[in-house]
Amino acid sequence: AQSVAQPEDQVNVAEGNPLTVKCTYSVSGNPYLFWYVQYPNRGLQFLLKYITGDNLVKGSYGFEAEFNKSQTSFHLKKPSALVSDSALYFCAVRERATDKLIFGTGTRLQVFP
Amino acid sequence: DTGVSQDPRHKITKRGQNVTFRCDPISEHNRLYWYRQTLGQGPEFLTYFQNEAQLEKSRLLSDRFSAERPKGSFSTLEIQRTEQGDSAMYLCASSYTSTSTGELFFGEGSRLTVL
């Protein structure tokens, strides 16, 4: 069965510093991987995806993610964090037959001024 | 707005009552998904439709839950005899199968509170 793990419940970072939110995956075959962000009482917003090709994927709001096949990881990164980046971040893997997404438990990012 | 819309955004009900949520997907999308999200957890898959056909149901979906997509457009999720454990955010998402590597587009969610 396909799954993703987000080992950190919360990540704290100072504004202006780089941030990393970790995700590891377990799939058979080549993975389709996604990051979504959720603000309080809102739905999920798509940030970026990895399907194939370049291991460094760029997405919305200055976020990027690095796909590492040997470490089965897909960590979300941003060079310089903003207070407005504070939100809940979800990593997900897509099941190919149904296109449904299987989500991790989420990581709360707190950016302090 | 051409995104996924859900109604109502918030529903408060008493235990034992029935509730129904509606989802209007992006118009050209043929797949529609329902997820449930409880506080502090990631979204959990409930069911999905391709056009009007319900192709998969999670074991999370008890007999009190039913979902329909009668004309392959909007969908409803009904919960009968609600229980306090049903309190959650119910998320709807849609996608288009020809873009098989595309993302799911989510609505804002319908929050259910069962008293």
Q: Which residues contact B1 (CB under 8 A, 6 or more apart)?
A: none
> What does the alpha-carbon distance between residue A36 and residue A90 come to, in Å, rounded to a whole number?
5
> Is-contact A36 A11, C-beta < 8 A?
no
Instruction: Return the pLDDT at B1.
Output: 54
User: Looking at the predicted structure, is the pLDDT value of residue B60 above 90?
Assistant: no
Q: Which residues contact A97 (CB under 8 A, 6 or more apart)?
A: none
Query: pLDDT, tens digit, for every residue of B87-113?
Result: 999 999 998 876 556 788 999 999 999
Instruction: Return the pLDDT at A95.
Output: 79
Instruction: Return the pLDDT at B100.
Output: 57
Instruction: Return the pLDDT at B39.
Output: 86
Residues 34-73 on B with a CB inside 8 Å of A are 40-45, 48, 55-56
Quick one: pLDDT band at residue A102, thresholds 50, 70, 90?
very high
> What does the alpha-carbon distance between residue B65 and residue B59 come to, in Å, rounded to a whole number?
11
Mean model confidence pLDDT for chain A: 93
What is the share, in percent, of chain A residues with pLDDT greater than 90? 77
Residues 54-83 on A with a CB inside 8 Å of B are none
Write out the H or E segment, with its range, that includes residue A50.
strand A44-50
Nearest CA in chain B to A89: B42
Say whether residue A103 is in contact with chain B using an 8 A CB cutoff: yes
Instruction: Return the pLDDT at B98.
Output: 62
Instruction: Return the pLDDT at B99.
Output: 59
Cβ of A100 within 8 Å of Cβ of B33? The answer is yes
Say whether residue A109 is in contact with chain B using an 8 A CB cutoff: no
Query: pLDDT, tens digit, for every residue of A59-79?
Result: 999 999 999 999 999 999 999
Say whether residue A106 is in contact with chain B using an 8 A CB cutoff: yes
